[in-house]
Amino acid sequence: MPTRKIEDKELLNCVAFILTKQKAFLAEKRAENKILGAGFITIPGGHINKNETMEQALIREITEELCIIPKKYEFLCKKISEHQTGKRLVHYFIVKEWKGQPEPKEAEELFWIKLAENKKLNLEIDREAIQEYLEQKPIT
């Protein structure tokens, strides 16, 4: 999925993976050396490479960043965010089953947040994605 131009800014395609278990989701504290969002609490994710599908990027990125293999996942939504270097189109996936234990390969730390406490996320688009998931799958 190539980068596109929208309103004279590059639109970078990305994937984000929301791992869910027991009414919680996995979040990361981004490393302090990251250009964007250093130290932010976010949903893990990464870029879609040229000639790569969203699903291929999901599997590659989740394996690179968390050292797990997704087994059961589904597309949730897509959101656009703007930052100092351009715009990102983020494709969010819900990951319900995986092989392995998540390890922070690129993040400073990983931790579980209750779905209802999504306000702990620094990025509004991440909070919106969790809210969209909650609207589809209410907490019981």
Mean pLDDT by 10 residues, the chain (140 residues): 49 94 94 74 94 95 96 96 83 96 93 95 95 78
| Domain ranges for the chain | 4-136
Q: Please list the residues that pair with 6 across neighbouring strands.
A: 9
User: What confidence score (pLDDT) does residue 3 get?
Assistant: 45
CATH topology of domain 4-136: Nucleoside Triphosphate Pyrophosphohydrolase (3.90.79)
Task: Return the pLDDT at 139.
Answer: 55
Collapse the DSSP code of 59 into the 3-class scheme (helix H, G, I; strand E, B; otherwise coil) and give the result: helix
pLDDT of residue 39: 81
CA distances from 80 to 11, 45, 87 (A): 9, 14, 7
Q: Strand 9-21 and strand 24-29: pairing?
A: antiparallel
Q: Which positions ≥6 away from 94 have C-beta within 8 Å?
A: 18, 20, 73, 74, 76, 133
